[in-house]
Amino acid sequence: MNTLLLSALDAKTPSIAAEIIKNGELVAIPTETVYGLGANGLDPEAVAKIFKAKGRPQDNPLILHIAEAADMEKYCHSIPECAYKLAEAFWPGPLTLVMPAKKIVPNCTTAGLPTVAIRCPDNAVTREIIRLSGVPIAAPSANISGKPSTTTAQHVLHDHDGRIAAVVDGGPCRVGVESTILDLSDEKPRLLRPGGITEAQLQAIVGDIILDKAITASVEKDEVVKAPGMKYRHYAPDCQVLIVDGDLPAAVSYVKAHFAPGNRVLCFEEELEAFKGFAPLAYGKNADRDTLLAGLFAALRELDDPSIGTVFARCPDGSGKAVAVQNRLGKAAGFTRVHPRQKHFIVGITGGTGCGKTTALEAIRLCSGMVIDCDAEYHRLLESDTKMLSAIEDRFPGVVVDGKLQRKELGKRVFAQEAELAALNAITHPRVKEAVLDMLPSTPSLVAIDAIGLFEGGLADLCDITVAITAPEEDRIQRLIRREGISREYAAARIAAQRSNEEFSKMCDYTLENDGTYEDFQRKCLAFFSRPDIMKEKP
Ligand code: TXA
Ligand code: MG
């Protein structure tokens, strides 16, 4: 097949392209986000050609592109009021809305889902093509599946020359990353994919929105996700991408220590000078996030080269448009990242059972931190640490038999005997502290020390900051009942036997209260642990 290259500037282009669409063939179309690989979205045979050309998994649905907002009523039902408000505010533009699909939309377009994704793109020529073809155009990003998206007509030709009917060349895409996807088919709007329209812009119109888990982390292969596309490895050049966080001096020393011939650095324009000698490629200015979005895919394509070993990539921090870069670059890197530091940053985490410490620790891991579970470490030492066991035996003769600690016996000796318990702690606490120090990684890192007795054991002295995790008592009771299958009375008694939320809060530098949904708390923790001011200094 000879692929026609049509110019968007040519007045005849819309009618030629529309004719091809009507004939059931593929046309790559320019949009403000990325180039799409378009076909008649109501024609299963035409849609099948998209999947074939891209090598796209069949369970990954397509976005229907419409020429004007009013057309959403042709393909969706139960359209909520806020969809009209969002369309008014952002269409034509880089926002896709997911809503219940009408029967007219074929299964191959929705991948069998009851919903359909709809978008009105901000490109006059493309909207004219849609209008003239008289059908909605189904169009995924025009790249071969798994590869970086296409932001120029040349990218499309690189992937599909000779295999599709036509490409409409509308120049480089203005936004540069795919549309923001908001699912309106549930009770609360849910952000499925970040893009050029930010969370804050959406919130201003629809209020609270839920952030889908797939945005910030990799998804297990069999996990059910709302946007099926989010579970695949994506945007990935043919080499290893590793995100290097941290401030510039720390990142430069990390790259210096790990760089091998043939490696590359993907960085901000402001950092080109600092990475001189390490084959740097800039994708935009950190000070102007729009340029990062616009340049990311072209840069990833340039690095799509099997002869390159590792690409050390710099990723913008913060919120707003940076989130779309964090998501795309994160996926390109399979969410592998390092956070080089000049020295360890140690966070002490404490709080009662059922408050959500696990969620906070998960967030630390997502911020590439390491977690040391001191209670587990304490139990391990009691099992096997000969040095500690012999000190215990010296002070409490008879409690260690054949190198094994008789826990019940020791328990009896210290139970309700303050002085005895203090003597035991005087042996175990320093040993746990020593063990924690031994576990610290050899390169400076973010480390969380998780200990119920953070302060009693003197572990807090090792910490740069301490954080109390608290939650309303009723939520904790419910969580314990669910998690451990215990009775309400027993759950309440366990909570009552511990320090109160207020006591934990008072002892710590910061408090994170888990008083909403799981997602709310996860988001709160991620925002907290990625705050540079917190990660630098003690209040
Ligand atoms: O900016 C864009 O959105 C570009 C241009 C061409 O418009 N298109 C694009 O399409 O990015 P694609 O296929 O690369 O990504 C569409 C994403 C996929 O992650 C897919 O799983 C999700 O949208 N999606 C489509 N229909 C859905 C639905 N009914 N429910 C949830 N997610 C859906
Ligand atoms: Mg895509």
Token pair for 304: 């799509």
Closest CA to 19 of 33, 4, 34: 4
Q: Which atom of ligand 1 is nearest to the CA of 35?
A: 6
Residue 442 vs residue 28, higher pLDDT: 28
SS3 for 135? coil
185 lines ligand 1 (CB under 6 A): no
* DSSP letter, residue 144: P
What pLDDT is stored for residue 39 in this prediction? 98
Residue with tokens 């040095």: 387
pLDDT of 534 above 80: no
CA of 480 to the centre of ligand 2 (A): 41
pLDDT of residue 219: 54
The finding on whether 328 has its CB within 6 A of some atom of ligand 1 is: no
Ligand 2 center to residue 488 CA distance, Å? 48
pLDDT at position 228: 65
Candidates 525, 526, 510; CA nearest to 467 is 510
Q: What angle do CA 124, 302, 159 make, to 5 degrees?
A: 60
Question: Mind listing the pLDDT tens digit for each residue in 239-274?
Answer: 889 999 888 998 998 899 899 999 999 999 999 999
What was the pLDDT predicted at 405?
93
Going by pLDDT thresholds of 50, 70 and 90, the confidence category of residue 221 is very low
Task: Please give the Cα distance from 181 to 162 (Å, whole number).
Answer: 31
pLDDT surpassing 70 at residue 78: yes
- 139 in contact with ligand 1, CB cutoff 6 A: yes
C-beta of residue 33 within 8 angstroms of C-beta of residue 178: yes
Most confident by average pLDDT, 33-42, 326-335, 339-348, 450-459: 33-42
Question: What is the per-residue pLDDT across 162-178, written as a single tens digit (0 to 9) for each?
Answer: 999 999 999 999 999 99
Q: Which long-range contacts (CB under 8 A, 24 or more apart) does 69-76 make?
A: 69/120, 71/120, 71/136, 72/97, 72/99, 72/118, 74/102, 74/104, 74/136, 75/101, 75/102, 75/104, 75/105, 75/116, 75/118, 75/136, 76/100, 76/101, 76/102, 76/116, 76/118
DSSP string of 114-131?
SEEEEE--S-HHHHHHHH
Whether 34 is in the pocket of ligand 1, judged by its Cβ within 6 Å, is yes
Whether pLDDT at 537 is above 60? no
pLDDT on residue 213? 80
The token pair at 10 is: 């040519």
CA of 59 to the centre of ligand 2 (A): 13
> Hey, is 466 helix, strand or coil?
strand
Quickly count: other Cβ atoms within 10 Å of residue 15's Cβ.
Answer: 12
* 514 CA → ligand 2 middle, Å: 35
Does ligand 1 lie within 6 Å of residue 234's CB atom?
no
Is the pLDDT score of 528 beyond 80? yes
Tell me, in angstroms, the distance from the centre of ligand 1 to residue 460's CA: 47
Separation between Cα atoms, residue 361 and residue 103, nearest integer Å: 45
pLDDT(539) > 50:
no
**Ligand 1 atom showing the smallest separation from residue 101 Cα:** 29
Mean pLDDT of the chain: 93
CA distance 207 to 202: 7
% of the chain at pLDDT higher than 70:
95
pLDDT digits (tens, 9 = 90+) for 86-130: 999 999 999 999 999 999 999 999 999 999 999 999 999 999 999
- Provide the pLDDT confidence category of residue 415 given band limits of 50, 70 and 90: confident
Per-residue model confidence (pLDDT) at position 225: 58
